[in-house]
Chains A and B, each alone.
Chain A
Amino acid sequence: EMQVVESGGGLVQPGGSLRLSCAASGCTFNTFWMSWVRQAPGKGLEWVASIKQDGSEKRYVDSVKDRFTISRDNAKNSLYLEMNSLRGEDTAVYYCASQGNNWWDLFDDWGQGTLVTVSS
């Protein structure tokens, strides 16, 4: 079982940028696809982005394409989400979640999340 801890959330103005981090432990990090899933306040879950074990494949939900970049550093057991041109609708708790060997695998282990608030 993987333990993940997110960090980097906070208050940012519309149009601003933020970088989220996720530190993983308790597993062989580089054998898993990893994802970010978000949840707006009082709302449901939305998959945001996923990255392959070696970083060679990345997938994004349409609403964040060209604004968000997912990356990973396997040497540091870490996952990142660079968020640019932030909008009010990006306000959410962002969860880091592990998947299996494939992009379609389910979200097995989740962190507690980090809150991103986009507001002036």
Chain B
Amino acid sequence: DIVMTQSPDSLAVSLGERATINCKSSQSVLYSSDNKNYLAWYQQKPGQPPKLLIYWASTRESGVPDRFNGSGSGTDFTLTINSLQGEDVAVYYCQQNYGSPLTFGGGTKVEIK
């Protein structure tokens, strides 16, 4: 199984500042045939189901604000939330869809400082 490890477990950021979340996979999720990283990010707000934010490590889902940015390749990935807004308070999960079983990171809780 591909193990996904996120850090930190939680972070508190002031409104308007940047939040940075890391995700590391136990093996590369870069598929050589299409040169795509099979890594996604989800946002889960309190009491709601998860919502897909980013796929292929850096492609935003339709309607996702451009303050959300994904980067990285191979085994190391980052989700950056620029200019944090109050509505961004949530738990963020990375997920790999490179191999079976599909696996998620443990989540990172983002709060307002």
Contact = CB atoms under 8 A, between A and B. Distances in A.
Interface of A is mostly: loop
Which of the listed residues A46, A50, A105, A106 has the most CB atoms from chain B within 10 Å of its own CB?
A: A106
A107 B50 contact: yes
B38, B51, B104: most-surrounded residue (chain A CB, <10 A): B104
Interface in A18-54: 44-47, 50
B55 interface: yes
Interface SS of chain B = loop
B104 A47 contact: yes
A107 B97 CA distance: 10
A113 B73 CA distance: 32
Contacts of B93: 44-45
Interface in B38-57: 38, 40, 42, 44, 48-52, 55
Interface of A: 44-47, 50, 59, 61-62, 95, 97, 103-108, 110-113
In the A-B complex, the 8 residue pairs with the closest CB atoms: A110-B49, A45-B104, A47-B102, A104-B97, A44-B107, A44-B106, A106-B40, A61-B101
